[in-house]
Amino acid sequence: MKYFFRILGILFSLATIALILPLLINDYNPADQAMRTWSMVTMCGAVIFNGAHFYRRRKDKRGLISVIVGIIILLVVVLKFPF
C-alpha cells in the first residue's frame, strides 16, 4: 500500500502521454474528441493518485488540495464532454 498510489500515478501519467502524442502529431480532427476526453480523464487520475501519495507521505495540505482539484476536474470532464 506504501507505493500503490505512486505506481498508479505513474501509470496514469504514462497513459496520458500515450494518448496525447498522436493528438499532437496529427492535424486537428473533430473525431479525436473521445481521445481528448480520455486524456483529460487520465490526467485527472494522475493528479489524484500523485496527490494522494504525497498526502499519505507528508501529511501536508498540498496533496489533499491536489486530490480535491483532480476530483472536481474529473467530474466536470465526465459530465460535460462526451466519450
Task: Render pLDDT for 1-19 as a digit per residue (tens, 0 to 9).
Answer: 778 988 999 999 999 999 8
pLDDT, position 41 = 92
Alpha-carbon distance 10 to 40, whole Å?
Answer: 15
Give dist(CA 68, CA 51) in Å, integer: 9
Q: What is the mean pLDDT of residues 41-55?
A: 91
Residue that wins the pLDDT comparison between 57 and 73:
73
pLDDT more than 90, % of the chain: 40
What's the pLDDT at 29? 74
